[in-house]
Structure 1
Amino acid sequence: MGEPIRVGIGGLGRSGYGIHAEYLKDDPDFRIVAAADELPERRKDAQERFGCRTYRSYAEMLAAGGFELFVNATPSRFHVEASLAGLKAGYHVLSEKPSATTLAEFDRITAAAEEHGVLFFPFQNSRFYPYFRKIREVIASGVLGEIICIRSNWSGFARRWDWQTLQRECAGNLLNTGPHPVDQAVVLFGDAYPEVFCRMAAYHFDFGGDADNFCALTLYGKGRPTIEVQVSSFLAYPQGEQYNIQGTCGGLSGGPAELRWKYFDPKSAPKHTLWKPWSFDRQYCSETLDWQEESWRFAEASSNANGFVSLSRGVYRNLYGVLRNGAGREITLEQVRRQIFVMEEAHRQNPLPVNE
């Protein structure tokens, strides 16, 4: 057992407190020794629950030191500046999503990490969903054949009137929820930068928001599957499962609780020759395939292992392995760079009016 990683958390809001601190307090390989938040009641809460030092700002906390990992859970518009400050001060940094909004910002962050001899970790906990790992396993097995199209829907009906509706806060569906499905999409797309087509819109009634709350995104490229991602706040009725995957030998459907897939073996399928010049005796093509069907169910359906706190385990256990044992990254910087590329291009294609 190595020394626990001493952690300073910047921001004790929904993420810093409700996800990161909630996980870290129970992992013996990490120790929360410092936390920063401008609200005194949050600082008092952190002192009582975690027995840590507290500060009014992450800058004060970075200056005081005494830890090696800075968890950047500040509001989204501060992510880039806070990550840069932590790296330049000599700390490893784990940043909440979005870790950046442009490639230029992301490249500045990774360059700063290299320059100062520390590591930068984007927080992409949805990579560790058990169902997503199973999807990757099924695709890698080859039973579905060549993957043609992947549809991923992360939508529901919800009206919002908080800071996540404001462009000036680096908010909106794509930058808030989007890093989860887009991270999964770039992994499934493979090691290449995709072509991007996107349509976004902002409908905030009379609440004053101006960031996107409808996003339909398509990734495509030669020799790659077409991947469609929708993140809408206006889906009153569910539209099928979260994932639907089409392959040349079968398909897969499902989501966090359950997956099912079916496929046939092309070697044992009926053989045909192309009818010429027209259909045979006015018939339609018809055949019987020997479908094989399989399913997977989340084994811990009664637990919160599909929740964000438990999903954090995958991120932090890999981070510990990297820092203490020289393990490889499960979430590579290049993968996240492609994610940032996709989201920046989506916003470039959809400039939305800004409310002053």
Structure 2
Amino acid sequence: MAKRKPITVAVVGLGRSGWDIHVRQIQDDPRYRIVDVTDMQADRRREAERTLGCGSFAEFAPMLKKTEAELIVVASPSHLHAKQTVAALKSGRHVVVEKPAAQTMRDFDRMVEAADQAKKHLLVHLNYRWMRTFTFMQDVLKSKKLGKVFHIGWLIHGFGRRSDWQCLQAHGGGLLNNHGSHMLDQMLRLIDSPIETVMADMKHINDAGDAEDHIKVVVRGENGMTGDLEISTAAATRLGHIEFLGTAGSMVIQQGKAHLKYFDPRKVKPLKLSKKLVAANRQYASDRSMPWIEEHLPVEGRDVGGFYDSVVDTVRGGRKFPVKAEENREMMRVMALCRKQNPKFRGR
């Protein structure tokens, strides 16, 4: 088999995401070659030139006009994603775009349309899909050890007082767009059903700016499965867990370890309902003789490679990308409903 030539890349934005995530992942990967970067700060451009041996531009438009890159990584502030992505696709390039892909479903639809018309790939960077925690949860769900899982809950608490651009709605900031999009994406994939009901509460507590730093989102799928996501950076007591509730048991994930407690329904006798209005010994009539099975497991699911492995497989190998456009759009629809219920956080 002939050796594939490296994918040439231009990175837009050299901040925490652009530099520390995207550049770090591909700079030493022989399947990629970074040829250009764009950033408004001269010191970041000089660092890229020195470290990567690439060209640099202060602005997006001149870079897009001159670069030979076939893949554009859009890691600029969130409110610029849609405009820059559409322009890059129309110029004939594939695009990796940071989450949130766009501020509105209308903008995202424009991005998908541009990709279809250009016959190029639109690749949304929802990289938590590739984490082994997620594949572990998928495997537990598929195993049916817990029976039919009817509820999934996420709780992520911590404390911080943020003061950068992601505290501003005008720039697409806020916890729902930022960390929430990763968790919401995973939750919707596990529920695996169109969402029929959304209840959301969003608050601005400690951060500078006007974007939310506390979110509570409860959803119900058409299949009856529910999800509960709570993320707060206004909680002084740090907590974090994921919970699965099923008809035959439950699971809690904390600090990289999973505790499963379940029973085999085939080994449980059917309950006989008592219609007497007097409880024996003044106690609840409850079966306490369940044949429980308990497992304590490391949260290490299947290794499905990394995000940029899938990018190569799609761009060079023609495989379907794991994050589908319709899945991202469904997540954006749910996020839009969250904001509709919280008009203070509809953005600018």
Q: Same fold (TM over 0.5)?
A: yes
Partner residue in 2 for 1:226: 226
Question: What secondary structure, in the 3-state scheme, does the structure 1 residue paired with 2:157 have?
Answer: coil
- TM-score norm. by structure 1 comes to 0.91
**Rounded Cα–Cα distance in structure 2 between residues aligned with 1:113 and 1:355:** 26
Opposite residue 291 of structure 1, the aligned amino acid is: W
**Rounded Cα–Cα distance in structure 2 between residues aligned with 1:81 and 1:153:** 34
Question: What secondary structure, in the 3-state scheme, does the structure 1 residue paired with 2:170 have?
Answer: helix
User: Where do residues 239-318 of structure 1 align in structure 2 (5 Å cutoff)?
Assistant: 239=239, 241-255=240-254, 257-278=256-277, 281=280, 282-284=282-284, 285-298=286-299, 314-318=306-310
Alignment deviations for residues 297-324 of structure 1 (CA, whole Å, 9 cap, x no partner):
2579xxxxxxxxx99x621111110111
Structure 1 residues 349 and 295 mapped into 2: Cα distance closer, same or farther (>3 Å)? same
> Are the equivalent residues in 2 in contact too, given 1:11–1:58 (CA < 8 A)?
no
Partner residue in 2 for 1:111: 113
Partner residue in 2 for 1:350: 342
Alignment deviations for residues 231-270 of structure 1 (CA, whole Å, 9 cap, x no partner):
211121134x420111110111114622221211111112
Partner residue in 2 for 1:166: 168
Structure 1 residues 61 and 19 mapped into 2: Cα distance closer, same or farther (>3 Å)? same
Partner residue in 1 for 2:235: 235
**Rounded Cα–Cα distance in structure 2 between residues aligned with 1:177 and 1:254:** 18
Alignment deviations for residues 14-52 of structure 1 (CA, whole Å, 9 cap, x no partner):
110111001111221111111111111111100111111
**Rounded Cα–Cα distance in structure 1 between residues aligned with 2:300 and 2:173:** 34
User: Where do residues 12-31 of structure 1 align in structure 2 (5 Å cutoff)?
Assistant: 12-31=14-33
**Rounded Cα–Cα distance in structure 1 between residues aligned with 2:311 and 2:72:** 12
Q: Offset at 1:354?
A: 9.2
Partner residue in 2 for 1:192: 194
Partner residue in 1 for 2:129: 127
**Rounded Cα–Cα distance in structure 2 between residues aligned with 1:104 and 1:299:** 38
Alignment deviations for residues 121-177 of structure 1 (CA, whole Å, 9 cap, x no partner):
000011122111101100111111111211112331111111111111110111111
**Rounded Cα–Cα distance in structure 2 between residues aligned with 1:222 and 1:183:** 17
Q: Offset at 1:102?
A: 1.6
Opposite residue 275 of structure 2, the aligned amino acid is: K
Partner residue in 1 for 2:49: 47
Percentage of identical aligned residues = 32
The one of 143, 151, 154 aligned to 1:152: 154
> Are the equivalent residues in 1 in contact too, given 2:159–2:238 (CA < 8 A)?
no
Structure 1 residues 201 and 168 mapped into 2: Cα distance closer, same or farther (>3 Å)? same
> Are the equivalent residues in 2 in contact too, given 1:25–1:32 (CA < 8 A)?
yes
Q: Offset at 1:95?
A: 0.3
Question: What secondary structure, in the 3-state scheme, does the structure 2 residue paired with 1:155 have?
Answer: strand
Give the root-mean-square deviation of aligned CA atoms. 2.1
**Rounded Cα–Cα distance in structure 1 between residues aligned with 2:313 and 2:220:** 34
**Rounded Cα–Cα distance in structure 1 between residues aligned with 2:187 and 2:97:** 20
Partner residue in 2 for 1:78: 80
Opposite residue 100 of structure 1, the aligned amino acid is: A
Structure 1 residues 114 and 354 mapped into 2: Cα distance closer, same or farther (>3 Å)? closer
**Rounded Cα–Cα distance in structure 2 between residues aligned with 1:134 and 1:162:** 34
Q: Offset at 1:280?
A: 5.4
Opposite residue 218 of structure 2, the aligned amino acid is: T
Alignment partner of 1:334 is 2:326: yes
Structure 1 residues 261 and 298 mapped into 2: Cα distance closer, same or farther (>3 Å)? closer
Partner residue in 2 for 1:211: 211
Alignment deviations for residues 174-210 of structure 1 (CA, whole Å, 9 cap, x no partner):
11111111111110121313421101111247x4x11
Q: Offset at 1:108?
A: 0.8
> Are the equivalent residues in 2 in contact too, given 1:131–1:258 (CA < 8 A)?
no
Question: What secondary structure, in the 3-state scheme, does the structure 1 residue paired with 2:267 have?
Answer: coil
Kindly indicate which of the two structures has a greater share of residues assigned to strand. 2
**Rounded Cα–Cα distance in structure 2 between residues aligned with 1:204 and 1:297:** 35
